[in-house]
Amino acid sequence: MKLWHSFKKELKLASKGMYFYIEVGVAVVMLLVLLLFVPKELDGRHDEYLYLDLPQGAKELYLEKIRSEDLDGQEESVTLKQGGRMISARKFVLEDVRLYVLEDREAVIRYAEEEREVAVVVALDPDDGLAYTYYLQGYESEKLRNLYLIFYNKVVSMEEIEAFFDDVEVRTLEGNPQMLNDRENLLPPFLTFNGSLMGLFILAAYVFLDKQEGVVKAYAVTAASVWQYLMSKVGVILFASVLTSIILVAPVMGTGPNYPLLLVFLAASGFFASALGLVLTSFYRDIEQAFGALYILIMVLILPNIAYFTPSWEPAWLKAIPSHAMLESFKEIILDRGDMGYVLGASAGFLAAGAVLFLFANHRFKKTLTL
Amino acid sequence: MISVRNLYHSYSNDDKYAVKDVSFEVKEGEVFGFLGPSGAGKSTTQNILTGLLQLQKGEVAVAGYNIKKIDNRMFNEIGMSFEESNLYGKMTAKENLDFYRKLFDVETRDSMDLIRIVGLQGKENIRTKEFSKGMKHRLTFARSMINNPRIWFLDEPTTGLDPAIASEIKDIIREENKKGVTVFLTTHNMYIADELCDRVAFIVDGEIRLIDSPKSLKLAYGDKLVDVEYIKDGKVLKETFSTVMEEDKQRLIRVIGSHDIQTMHTKEATLEEIFIKVTGRGLV
Ligand SMILES: Nc1ncnc2c1ncn2[C@@H]1O[C@H](COP(=O)(O)OP(=O)(O)O)[C@@H](O)[C@H]1O
Ligand SMILES: [Mg+2]
């Protein structure tokens, strides 16, 4: 009961303070950015840049083949911009890939080297088969590389071209191609940032505000416990986190995601982040003193977000940072056929780790809350 | 109701004690005052008794609860008013009290009743951050009564209040005490100590120098003080001497022997004068 009343009071206070509205405001801004500035068009397709190093006849045949795979059976002449250069290309939109066929081998390779795109040079091998030279980024999985090898670099006769196009679909099943459009792809980092990281920071702000007002002391001489005080604050953070996450997810994803699972994970990861914030807060008297540590902690937690946008940088130790698991989980939650087991496992992990941190924070606060 | 034995406390966890070897007992129904200058260790002692500071050394029991391991139920029986008011500034006076009521397991008093008692009626729906210092202090004071405490801790209950309000606060304390509430208060105001306390402890530099009732202190010291006005180097000087303390007696003899005496009265001492006599220190 005391916990419930404390929670209600915290909610009321939060509704009168600015932090709550900052959180909601940030969520709304993120949503607007997603809806207004991030194109949705890139439905699950990635780009590939091709140079056909083939004799005229073979080239025609090859293009004809692609054209037949094109969704509207039409090629499109486009002008691409690469650095300062203008490059003309034929664009084909296939079911799972956008192919740009260029007349300039160097430009294709530059796409691989400078723009981190998938670039392919198709040539004839001595036995009149097709030889595919893929310019990979180095971060593609071993599996994907092997598949490329098997499906493209094996020697095939001209007659087998047809056969291999049937194999193309194999690519979509592995190597984690983007199943999310660009807009959806931005959700996991936004959710991680908005829910957990903001929560951690704002929780610290709430506790320090109470300390400054001295109300913690008034609370300390009541029959309510420290853990109830702390938990009521965590509750408000979770409430805000759920609210802002729904603000972000619902308009972008509609009814797609698994909402119950989203709630479970938001609660678990939010609890973990709040408890982490409490532990940190318990070591400092006021927010000025805590700021350095808070800043470092948040920076560390943001690293996986940066890696998320930088495919070429994903060191193994990054996976040890909790926000990495948050990103992955949010991704699985909004994916159509996401890995629910992973999300539940991560939730359990966050819940357990959060409980340990919370107990530790409670233990510390019993001694230091009223200092 | 309160028993303190050999209490020590150091904020720096070394031998720089803010409270040093303090022992005393407070009986049920008594008003017990800690009188001493600022920095003497009054609040520190009170904060230990109410669990706001961790007990480091010594034995403390409050309302039958051992302070070494705080039991939350103890707080159902005690109330505490703070030296510096601490309210939720974003909530109104009434909301502050209404919420506070929920934090106890015992029957609590009506918020509006309390607001009326401290003269804040009409202000109940104002956010407390708009309150003056005195109003905040009164509400903090009222809040400390909310759970009908058996033991009431008051840290500087009248400090910084204008005299009329201070006098109202004194009346409320007296009234609650009449109902049987045990009061532990700290003050550096000798009038408060004199008027309210059944017994006072003089505390200086973290140590208790004396515990007695104001009445017997005055009996012990009162008639034995002499106010002397005398002329020295053409100027009129006024001094108070004890007729029992050896040092004072010798000085008094010297003054009478070597200066023109203008007036000389025996008198009843104020608590402050006794404090100065006993501790060698003023109350500020
Ligand atoms: N939080 C604190 N940290 C360090 N020293 C403190 C703290 N609070 C009080 N002190 C010191 O302890 C001594 C006693 O202070 P206090 O109990 O507040 O005195 P009083 O209430 O009698 O004015 C003073 O010297 C004061 O400076
Ligand atoms: Mg004090």
Confidence (pLDDT) at A31: 87
* Pocket mutation for ligand 1, best pick of B44, B54, B275 (most atoms within 8 Å of C-beta): B44
Ligand 1: which atom is nearest the Cα of residue B83?
21
Query: Distance (Å, rounded) from C-alpha B241 to C-alpha A353?
Result: 70
Confidence (pLDDT) at B222: 67
* A28 and A50, same domain (yes or no): no
Full-model pTM = 0.74
B chain contacts of residue A231, beta-carbon cutoff 8 Å = none
* A7 and A124, same domain (yes or no): no
Decide if A336 is inside a domain: yes
B chain contacts of residue A220, beta-carbon cutoff 8 Å = 51-52
* A96 and A241, same domain (yes or no): no
Query: Distance (Å, rounded) from C-alpha B237 to C-alpha B261?
Result: 10
CB A259 within 8 A of CB A40: no
Q: Is residue B172 classed exposed, middle or buried when 0-12, 13-18 and 19+ CB atoms within 10 A define those classes? A: middle
* A327 and A209, same domain (yes or no): yes
Hey, whose CA ends up nearest to atom 24 of ligand 1? B39
- Domain stops at, among A107, A127, A160: A160
Q: Domain-by-domain residue ranges, chain B?
A: 2-219, 223-267
* A200 and A241, same domain (yes or no): yes
Sorted by sequence, the CB contacts under 8 Å of residue A242 that are 6+ apart come out as A263, A266, A267, A270
Hey, whose CA ends up nearest to atom 26 of ligand 1? B39
Decide if A124 is inside a domain: yes
* A95 and A50, same domain (yes or no): yes
Give the gap in angstroms from C-alpha B120 to the nearest C-alpha of chain A: 20
- Domain hosting residue A341, numbered range: 2-39+181-367
CB B240 within 8 A of CB B275: no
Report, as an integer, the average pLDDT of B144-156: 96
* A314 and A297, same domain (yes or no): yes
- Domain stops at, among A160, A191, A216: A160
Q: From its phi and psi, is residue B64 left (phi > 0), alpha (psi between -120 and 50) or beta?
A: left
Q: From its phi and psi, is residue A272 left (phi > 0), alpha (psi between -120 and 50) or beta?
A: alpha
Decide if A193 is inside a domain: yes
Question: What are the per-10-residue average pLDDT scores of chain A (371 residues)?
Answer: 85 83 87 79 70 83 82 81 82 81 85 78 75 67 56 48 49 44 81 84 89 89 91 92 91 84 92 93 87 88 83 78 89 83 92 95 81 67
Measuring CA to CA, how many Å separate A303 from each of A29, A51, A299, A320, B73? 22, 36, 7, 11, 46
* A110 and A239, same domain (yes or no): no
Confidence (pLDDT) at A169: 41
Contact A5 B51 (CB under 8 A): no
Query: Distance (Å, rounded) from C-alpha A189 to C-alpha A182?
Result: 12
Q: CB B67: neighbour CB atoms within 10 A?
A: 23
* A101 and A28, same domain (yes or no): no
Residue A293, chain B, CB below 8 Å: the answer is no
Confidence (pLDDT) at A320: 86
CA of B284 to the centre of ligand 2 (A): 12
The chain B residue lying nearest A369, using CA atoms, is B52
Ligand 1: which atom is nearest the Cα of residue B41?
17
Decide if A337 is inside a domain: yes
Confidence (pLDDT) at A223: 92
What is the count of structural domains for chain A?
A: 2
CB B174 within 8 A of CB B144: no
* A305 and A363, same domain (yes or no): yes
Report, as an integer, the average pLDDT of B98-106: 93
Decide if A171 is inside a domain: no
Question: How open is the CA angle B269-B274-B276, to the nearest 5 degrees?
Answer: 130
Question: How open is the CA angle A6-A26-A230, to the nearest 5 degrees?
Answer: 20
Decide if A24 is inside a domain: yes
Decide if A123 is inside a domain: yes
Own/partner pairs, A61-65, CB within 8 angstroms, 24+ separation: A61/A158, A61/A161, A62/A122, A62/A130, A62/A161, A63/A90, A63/A101, A65/A161, A65/A162, A65/A165
For domain B2-219, the CATH class is alpha beta
DSSP for B3-23 reads: EEEEEEE-TTSSS--SEEEEE
Confidence (pLDDT) at B107: 95
* A251 and A228, same domain (yes or no): yes
